[in-house]
């Protein structure tokens, strides 16, 4: 009997987890399409096949649900970044992989990312209720710090403003969903390769200077 009870509890926990995942994905799709202001809990309840009461059981307010959706979107982006930035590659190669991973998330091409892509791209701090803006900004800043740390490892020419370069890069990437077309000639990996090549050609240390520095370090 105890064994059957444990199986039943485990089965119930799995179903609850699955329903919660459906709730977040459905909410992400509705928020992306209608925006926070025009989305109602009934809209989300209908899309997720749940009752409004069940949603309020998980989240006391629509704002809390939106924040949970955004947190999930950022969590997916962070995981993709960390996988792409794994050890064993030149910093420029890491950047290309990271840029491709970021675009896969933004364009909804990564597994499980499609529902959340619109929230991550379109939702800005001023779209959120006041009580969640500080926490949302912290999530965004935590993700962008990964770009800062990676850019800090690039061999750039003296005088290149790495902070401005980071803002330029992230702004360019987040604009891609506006013009990207599935039937276009470039896929996310191709966009990443070309974009990073342009950045590298415009900012990297000249080969002769880099070789000289390497010789001094090994002397």
Structurally, how many domains does the chain consist of?
1
Predicted pLDDT of residue 207: 53
Comparing CA positions, the residue from 107, 104, 133 lying closest to residue 118 is 107
CB 125 within 8 A of CB 137: yes
Predicted pLDDT of residue 97: 95
Q: Note whether residue 53 is domain-resident.
A: no
Q: Note whether residue 155 is domain-resident.
A: yes
Q: Note whether residue 173 is domain-resident.
A: yes
Q: What is the pLDDT of residues 112-166, one digit of tens each?
A: 777 788 777 777 767 777 778 888 888 888 999 999 999 999 999 999 999 999 9
Q: Note whether residue 156 is domain-resident.
A: yes
Against a cut of 0.75, is the pTM above it?
A: yes
Instruction: Using 70 as the pLDDT threshold, list the residues of the chain that sit under it.
Output: 1-18, 87, 125, 206-219
Q: Please state, in angstroms and rounded to a whole number, the distance separating the CA atoms of residues 16 and 20.
A: 6
Q: Token pair for residue 123?
A: 């939702």
Predicted pLDDT of residue 62: 92
Q: Note whether residue 198 is domain-resident.
A: yes
Q: Note whether residue 100 is domain-resident.
A: yes
- Residue keyed to tokens 């499609």: 114
Q: Token pair for residue 155?
A: 């061999």
Predicted pLDDT of residue 157: 92
Predicted pLDDT of residue 154: 95
- Three-state secondary structure string covering the chain: CHHHHHHHHHHHHHHHHHHHHHHHHHHHHHHHHHHHHHCCHHHHHHHHCCCHHHHHHHCCCHHHHHHHHHHHHHHHHHHHHHHHCCCCCCHHHHHHHHHHHHHHHHCCCCCCCHHHHHHHHHCCHHHCCHHHHHHHHHHHHHHHHHHHHHHCCCCECCCCCHHHHHHHHHHHHHHHHHHCCCCCCCCHHHHHHHHHHHHHHHHECCHHHHHHHHHHHHC
Q: Note whether residue 27 is domain-resident.
A: no
Q: Note whether residue 32 is domain-resident.
A: no
Which domain, by its residues, includes 204? 62-218
CATH number of the domain to which 94 belongs: 1.10.357.10
């Amino acid at each position: 009997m105890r064994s059957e009870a444990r199986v039943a509890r485990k089965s119930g926990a799995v179903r609850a987890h699955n329903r919660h995942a459906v709730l977040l994905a459905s909410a992400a799709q509705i928020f992306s399409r209608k925006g926070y202001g025009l989305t109602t809990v009934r809209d989300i309840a209908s899309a997720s096949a749940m009752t409004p009461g069940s949603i309020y059981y998980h989240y006391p307010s629509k704002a809390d649900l939106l924040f949970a959706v955004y947190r999930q979107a950022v969590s997916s982006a962070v995981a993709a970044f960390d996988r792409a930035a794994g050890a064993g590659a030149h910093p420029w190669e890491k950047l290309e992989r990271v840029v491709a991973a970021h675009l896969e998330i933004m364009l909804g091409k990564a597994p499980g990312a499609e529902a959340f892509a619109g929230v991550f791209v379109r939702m800005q701090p001023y779209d959120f209720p006041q009580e969640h803006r500080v926490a949302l900004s912290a999530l965004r800043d935590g993700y962008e710090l990964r770009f800062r740390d990676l850019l800090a490892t690039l061999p750039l020419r003296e005088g290149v403003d790495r902070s401005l370069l980071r803002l330029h890069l992230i702004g360019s990437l987040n604009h891609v969903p506006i013009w990207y077309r599935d039937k276009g000639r470039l896929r996310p990996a191709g966009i990443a390769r070309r974009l990073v090549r342009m950045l590298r050609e415009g900012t990297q240390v000249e080969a002769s200077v880099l070789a000289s520095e390497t010789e001094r370090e090994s002397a």
